[in-house]
A and B are shown apart, each in its own frame.
Chain A
Amino acid sequence: MYSCSDLKKGLKVMIDGEPHVIAGFDFTKPGKGQALYKCKLRNMITGSLFDRTYRSGESFEPAALEDRDMQYLYQDENGYVFMDNKSFEQVHLSEETLGDDRLLLVDNMMVQILMFNERGIGISLPNFVNLRVTQADPWVKGDTAAGNNKPATVETGFTLAVPSFVEQDDLIQIDTRTGQYVTRVKE
């Protein structure tokens, strides 16, 4: 069982017999008062979103989901297609189910698909992906301060802040948990 202190964005819990993922999380507590755990929950089967606030002392049952290794194949009009390379079984996930994760998918990439009652209802990306920069302002010569940043767009359409020395066509590593730039990748 989880307690309130385990709640965080991305945690999957059972509510009324159905798996839910915490899509948004906010901890509030007056300095001397009681903690409140505000959750935005998404029903992983119906996709419906709702708010619920919990107080200390409540407990939560982990969602019973099976992770299955699958490969990302392609996108079509029905959504995004993944395949189990052992059984050749294919699973479709909608754009809505994938959320921002769809902008971090690389062709042929291995991912984990979350299964519930033989249905694909979610995805876990690897922690890091490499994507090519398709748009970034040129590097202004002389700008060597390590902390400076600028916006950049990668091949999937995902945008993020990168250091000033990153240029178009560079391959960069992105942390899929935070959406942040990590480093340039040598080729």
Chain B
Amino acid sequence: MEPNWALASKRPALEARARILQSIRAFFVGRDYLEVETPQRIPGNAPESYIDAVASGDWFLHTSPELCMKRLLAAGYPRLFQLCRCWRDGERGDRHLPEFTMLEWYRSHCDYHTLMTECEALLRTLAPSGALRWQGQTLDLSAPWERLSVAEAFSRYASVPLRQALDSDRFDQHLTQEIEPQLGRTTPTFLIEYPAELAALARHKPDDPTVAERFELYLCGLELANAFSELTDAPEQRQRFAHEEAQRRAAGKPPYPSPERFLAELPAMPPAAGIALGVDRLVMLLTDTPRIDEIVAFPPEIL
């Protein structure tokens, strides 16, 4: 009997993936981040309209370790990172796996600008040549990375103004079809300053409450990470959760219990910023691989 060749031929990809995971750990340990593990099965996730959890008994598999990471921040841990599996129901495509690997890191006494700088340092560490080649495109990682506001991106690339896209509930359609393919073309792009209504856990900009201090990082048109300056105002957070949860339930989704412990501890959280980065996509980018299936041993269809 021959060995399973489809699995055996993934060896170079799996070796590269293992090296990348080791380098990520070394990067954060070297910057005094504490690696933590938080439960992957939780009573409920932070309610978000368009992220669906997988049920596990009466509880849910986490879609992100966000709530537990922030409770640790609030308890006084200044710098934290976690590499873990997350689950998002129904997300499957060339760039999506319903079970995927997330890197999240959180840092107190800083805002999302610090995280942009840290993303630059992380990628330059992982691609020491300063160039990243993916599917025929070349990115210069050593040059200053583009910072582009959502409003500017719409006026530059979209067929309708931002306000119209929001009012017609077509924001994501214009974003994915017209804007994303233009992002991260010569350097990576930080798409910054999201409309306030699209950032349920982010702090609003102090001098402009209509936008949130949230960014998404794009390389070669691929969304790699989402970050924000964290909201630390507990009553405001409770209100936003209620709004998102009402939308979820109106859409017929299973109810989440209100994350009362998180809300009770939130006032103790110092100003902070946090980020979630898709490790599988990072491996795709660093190994010039077009499909997510090729950089994991077992996509769900072959289980």
Q: How large is the interface on B (under 10, 10 to 19, 20 to 34, 35 or more residues)?
A: 20 to 34
Task: Pick the residue among B9, B90, B176 that contacts A28 (CB under 8 A).
Answer: B176
In the complex, what residues of A have CB within 8 A of residue B50's CB?
29, 32-35
- Which one, A67-75, A92-100, A127-135, A177-185, is touching chain B? A177-185
Contact string against A for B residues 11-49, beta-carbon threshold 8 Å, 1 for contact and 0 otherwise: 110000000000000000000000000000000000010
Name A5's closest neighbour in chain B (CB-CB).
B90
Name A145's closest neighbour in chain B (CB-CB).
B11
Interchain nearest-CB distance for A172 vs B (Å): 10
Given contacts A31-B226, A32-B50, A146-B8, contact A184 B175 (CB under 8 A): no
- Residues 200-221 (chain B) with a chain A CB within 8 angstroms: 216
CB of B91 within 8 A of CB of A183, answer no
- Residues 8-33 (chain A) with a chain B CB within 8 angstroms: 25-33
Q: A122 in the interface, Cβ–Cβ < 8 Å? A: no
Tell me what chain A mostly uses at the interface: helix, strand, loop, or mixed.
Answer: strand
CB of B94 within 8 A of CB of A33, answer no
CB of B175 within 8 A of CB of A29, answer no
Interchain nearest-CB distance for A183 vs B (Å): 5
Interchain nearest-CB distance for A144 vs B (Å): 11
Interchain nearest-CB distance for B201 vs A (Å): 10
CB of A146 within 8 A of CB of B3, answer yes
CB of A35 within 8 A of CB of B11, answer no
Name A181's closest neighbour in chain B (CB-CB).
B5
In the complex, what residues of A have CB within 8 A of residue B278's CB?
31
Task: Pick the residue among B6, B9, B10, B223 that contacts A30 (CB under 8 A).
Answer: B223
Tell me what chain B mostly uses at the interface: helix, strand, loop, or mixed.
Answer: mixed
Given contacts A27-B91, A27-B96, A29-B91, contact A34 B5 (CB under 8 A): no
In the complex, what residues of A have CB within 8 A of residue B92's CB?
27
CB of B176 within 8 A of CB of A30, answer yes
**Cα–Cα distance between A36 and B172 once the two chains are bound (Å):** 8
Q: A120 in the interface, Cβ–Cβ < 8 Å? A: no
**What 3 pairs across the A-B complex have the smallest Cβ distances?**
A27-B93, A33-B172, A146-B8
30 residue pairs of the A-B complex, CB under 8 angstroms, read A27-B92, A27-B94, A28-B93, A29-B50, A29-B91, A29-B176, A30-B172, A30-B180, A30-B223, A31-B216, A31-B226, A32-B51, A32-B198, A33-B175, A34-B172, A34-B173, A35-B50, A35-B90, A146-B5, A146-B8, A146-B9, A147-B8, A147-B9, A147-B11, A147-B12, A148-B9, A161-B9, A163-B2, A180-B6, A183-B5
